[in-house]
Amino acid sequence: MLVFTTTRFRPKSRNRKLLPTTPRKSQTKFKEFIPTYRTEEKKYPSIYTGACDTSRKDSPQYTGTLVKGIATMHKSNAVPIINEQEAIDISRMRR
């Protein structure tokens, strides 16, 4: 059931009198924006312990000597093949 209501009437009134209308406010006058700047803050340097190296490490790259190929198992699962025996085992697997 849909109930449509309005906010023009006073709530819980017997005679449903209209609410008084408020006069529209005049638009405010334009004020020029004057930015406020932050004051100078003290800068406290971080402590240097020299204990660890945080430089970026080289990402490991595959040289191509271990994996012989890639086999597909159940539901498109890619599996690396290291030797010939693994290739034979994967080809004999069933679901």
Residue 95 CA to residue 72 CA, distance in Å, equals 12
Helix (H, G, I), strand (E, B) or coil at 25: coil
| Domain assignment of residue 91, yes or no | yes
Q: How confident is the model at residue 33 (pLDDT cuts 50, 70, 90)?
A: confident
Write the CB contacts of 67 (distance below 8 Å, at least 6 apart in sequence).
Answer: 80, 81, 82
With 70 as the cut, is the pLDDT of residue 93 above it?
Answer: yes
With 80 as the cut, is the pLDDT of residue 51 above it?
Answer: no
Q: How many domains is the chain built from?
A: 1
Mean pLDDT across the chain: 77
pLDDT for 57 equals 86
What pTM, to 2 d.p., does this model score? 0.32
Boundaries of domain holding 72: 65-95
Q: How confident is the model at residue 6 (pLDDT cuts 50, 70, 90)?
A: low
Of 84, 47, 49, residue with least CA distance to 68: 84
Count CB-CB contacts under 10 A for residue 80.
11
With 60 as the cut, is the pLDDT of residue 95 above it?
Answer: no
Helix (H, G, I), strand (E, B) or coil at 56: coil
